[in-house]
Amino acid sequence: YASMRQYKNSEKFEKGARELYNKAFKENNHQVEYVSFLNILGDNYLKIGGVEGHAKAMDCYQEASWILAEICGDESIDFLLSLIDIGDVYLEQKEFDKAKSFYLLSMDKITTLYGSNSIFLHWVNAALVELYTANGGEFKSLYSSLDNLRLA
């Protein structure tokens, strides 16, 4: 609904989905399914945009990250990739330094834990390219200190 700009329907869907979660997942402690739900919801709010959409997206992504840190650990790939979602909200808000900090934190940890050739760096690199594009091509000034940035 959000992608079709039917925001009232999107909000009704959210309410219904949260009720479903409370009945089905929460009672049975299905945290992973809830994280998936939060990420989908966050994606929709990010598409809606605006101050309220960004705030709701951030709430969803942060809650998902906290749950992932709790159940998987803060060195799990799921948690580290969730940091990109938080950075994406900052990117949409044009808070480039905050977005960069989340992307680089994810990149540093993934590189340290999984290696500089990790396939998981693809998502970080894609986020950094988006940041570069959104920031008017100010890539060198933002990343001149990075010698291990791989854009491939």
Question: What three-state secondary structure class fits 152?
Answer: coil
pLDDT of residue 135: 81
- Nearest Cα neighbor of 35 from 68, 69, 84 is 68
Residue showing tokens 């934190």 = 105
The Cα 103–Cα 108 span in angstroms is: 9
The Cα 79–Cα 68 span in angstroms is: 5
pLDDT of residue 145: 42
Please state the φ and ψ torsions of residue 5, each to the nearest 5 degrees: 60, 30
pLDDT of residue 71: 86
pLDDT of residue 7: 53
pLDDT of residue 32: 76
pLDDT of residue 1: 46
Give the count of beta carbons closer than 10 Å to the beta carbon of residue 105: 16
* Whole-structure pTM value: 0.74
The Cα 126–Cα 84 span in angstroms is: 10
Six-digit token pair at 141?
Answer: 């000034």
pLDDT of residue 31: 78
- Nearest Cα neighbor of 150 from 111, 113, 114 is 111
Q: What does the angle CA 45 – CA 47 – CA 51 come to, to the nearest 5 degrees?
A: 60
pLDDT of residue 9: 59
Cβ-proximal residues to 60 (8 Å cutoff; 6+ apart), any chain: 38, 39, 41, 42, 45
Cβ-proximal residues to 27 (8 Å cutoff; 6+ apart), any chain: none
Per-residue pLDDT of the chain (152 residues; tens, 9 = 90+): 445 555 555 666 666 666 655 555 555 457 778 888 899 999 999 999 999 999 999 999 999 999 999 888 899 999 999 999 999 999 999 999 999 999 999 999 999 999 989 899 999 999 999 999 888 876 554 554 454 454 43
